[in-house]
Amino acid sequence: MTLTIREYSDDLAQHFHDINAEWIEAMFVLEPLDREVLQNPREKIIAPGGVILFVDVLGVGIVGTCALKPTGGGGYELTKMGVRESARGTGAGAFLLEAVIARALQIGADPLYLLTNQDCAAAIHLYEKLGFRHDAAIMSDYGTRYARCDVAMRYAP
């Protein structure tokens, strides 16, 4: 399986929406902030200096996406990471996460953090494996953004 990373372009915006809506709606409820970001990725993530990457499987197409959203003071939230259910277990998620972390380091993200839910156990395991650590200060500073958030992690390899 040949995996490649693609940068955001407006023609990929629907993939960003659909991949994230798929996993969020399967486990939770789309919150107003989710809708706002998913429907306006250029305005809400790219324009303020963020990044959206996609993982493309040769012969299959876009199967995953993840964003780095600037949150002020040099901090970036790793957010809206999703892989289509049909591509889970293929390594596409780890490939994408490694690319997103590399980009975050390249742009000097500090802190690089994420907000999630304990029900996302497979994702949390992947985050831990690639250098994220549970962080009470991140939870205190950012954790109220989503009703579903009960886990906050900071990149600290």
21-71, pLDDT tens digit by residue?
999 999 999 999 999 999 999 999 999 999 999 999 999 999 999 999 999
The arithmetic mean of pLDDT across residues 5-9, rounded, is 98
H or E stretch at 121: helix 121-129
Q: What is the pLDDT of residues 66-125, one digit of tens each?
A: 999 999 999 999 999 999 999 988 999 999 999 999 999 999 999 999 999 999 999 999
The pLDDT-based confidence of 145 (bands split at 50, 70, 90) is confident
Q: What percent of the chain has pLDDT over 70?
A: 100
Q: What percent of the chain has pLDDT over 90?
A: 94
Closest by alpha carbon to 115, among 98, 140, 141, 139? Answer: 139
Check whether the bond before 111 is cis (ω within 30° of 0). yes
The answer as to CATH 3.10.150.10 being correct for domain 3-155 is no
User: What's the predicted TM-score (pTM) here?
Assistant: 0.96
All residues at 6 or more sequence positions from 11 whose CB lies less than 8 Å from its CB, including other chains: none
pLDDT at 88: 86
Residue 10, amino acid = D
The pLDDT-based confidence of 153 (bands split at 50, 70, 90) is very high
Which strands form 61-72's sheet, in the order they lie side by side?
3-7, 51-57, 61-72, 75-83, 112-116, 151-155, 132-134
- Give the DSSP letter of residue 10: G
pLDDT at 70: 97
Q: Where along the chain do its domains lie?
A: 3-155
